[in-house]
Chains A and B, each alone.
Chain A
Amino acid sequence: MEAQAVDWGQAFRIVGGGIVVVFVIMSLLAVSTMIMGKIFTGIEARKKAAAKAAEGEAQ
Chain B
Amino acid sequence: MDFISYHEGVLKILNVQVGFGNLDLPHLIMILIGLGFITLAIVKEWEPYELLPIGAGMILANLPLTGLTTAPEPGLQPGMAGVLGIILKYGLYTWTILPQFIFFGIGALTDFSPLIANPRAFLLGAAAQVGIYSSFLGALAVGLLVPDWGFSLKEACSIGIIGGADGPTTIYTTGLLAPDIMGITATAAYSYMAMVAIIQPPIIKALTSKTERQTFMKPMLRPVSRAERILFPLVAMLLIILIIPKSAPLVGFLLLGNLFRESGVVERLSHTAQNELINIITILLMLGIGASMPAERVMDPRTLLVLFLGLAAFCVGTGAGVIFGKIMSKISKEPFNPMLGAAGVSAVPMSARIVHHMGQEANKKNFLLMHAMGPNVAGVIGSAVAGGYFLGLFIDF
Which A residues form the contact surface with B (CB < 8 A)? 1-8, 10-12, 14-15, 17-19, 21-34, 36-37, 40-41, 44
Is B153 touching A18 in the complex (CB atoms < 8 A)?
A: no
Measured CB to CB, the nearest residue on chain B to A7 is B153
Which residues of B are at the interface with A, using a C-beta cutoff of 8 A?
A: 115-117, 119-120, 122-123, 125-126, 129-130, 132-133, 136-137, 140, 143-144, 147-153, 155-157, 178, 180-181, 222, 224-225, 227-228, 231-232, 235-236, 239-240, 243-244, 300, 302, 378, 381-382, 385-386, 389-390, 393
Q: Which residues of chain A are near B155, meaning CB under 8 Å?
A: 1-2
Q: Could you tell me the distance in whole angstroms from the C-beta of B186 to the nearest C-beta in chain A?
A: 15
Residue of A with least CB distance to B149? A3
Set of chain B residues within 8 Å of A40, measured between Cβ atoms: 225, 227-228
**Given A3-B150, A18-B129, A26-B385, 10 additional A-B pairs, CB 8 A:** A1-B155, A3-B151, A26-B382, A29-B119, A29-B122, A29-B239, A31-B119, A33-B122, A36-B228, A37-B228
Contacts of A44 in B (CB 8 A): 225
Closest residue of A by beta carbon distance from B297? A1
Q: Chain B contact residues: over half helix, strand or loop, or mixed?
A: helix
Q: Which residues of A contact B147 (CB under 8 A)?
A: 3
Q: Given A1-B300, A26-B381, A27-B122, A36 and B243 touching (CB < 8 A)?
A: no
8 Å CB contact of B153 from A10, A25, A29:
A10
A28 to B225, CA, bound (A): 21
* Bound: A28/B156 CA distance, A: 28
Nearest-neighbour CB distance to chain B for A18, whole angstroms, equals 5
Whole-angstrom distance between the alpha carbons of A42 and B228 in the complex? 12
Please name the residue on chain B nearest to A41 by beta carbon: B222
Q: What are 19 residue pairs bridging A and B, where the CB atoms are less than 8 Å apart in the complex?
A: A1-B302, A2-B155, A3-B151, A3-B152, A8-B140, A11-B156, A12-B137, A14-B136, A14-B153, A19-B130, A25-B244, A27-B122, A28-B243, A29-B381, A30-B122, A34-B119, A36-B232, A37-B117, A41-B222
What residue in chain B is nearest A3 (Cβ atoms)?
Answer: B150
Inter-chain contacts of A21 with B (CB < 8 A): 243-244, 385, 389
A33 touches B132 (CB 8 A): no
Q: Give the distance in Å from the alpha carbon of A37 to the alpha carbon of B232 in the complex.
A: 10
B147 nearest CB across to chain A (Å): 7
Docked pose: A19 CA to B180 CA in angstroms: 26
Closest CB in chain A relative to B360 CB, distance in Å: 27
CB–CB A29/B152 < 8 A: no
Q: Which residues of A sit under 8 angstroms from B393, Cβ to Cβ?
A: 14
Q: How far is the CA of A7 from the CA of B154 in the complex (A)?
A: 12
Chain B residues whose C-beta falls within 8 Å of the C-beta of A11 in the assembled complex: 136-137, 140, 153, 156
* Interchain CB contact under 8 A, A22 and B389: yes
Q: Is B136 a contact of A15 with CB atoms below 8 Å? A: yes
Q: Which of A18, A30, A31 contacts B390 (CB 8 A)?
A: A18
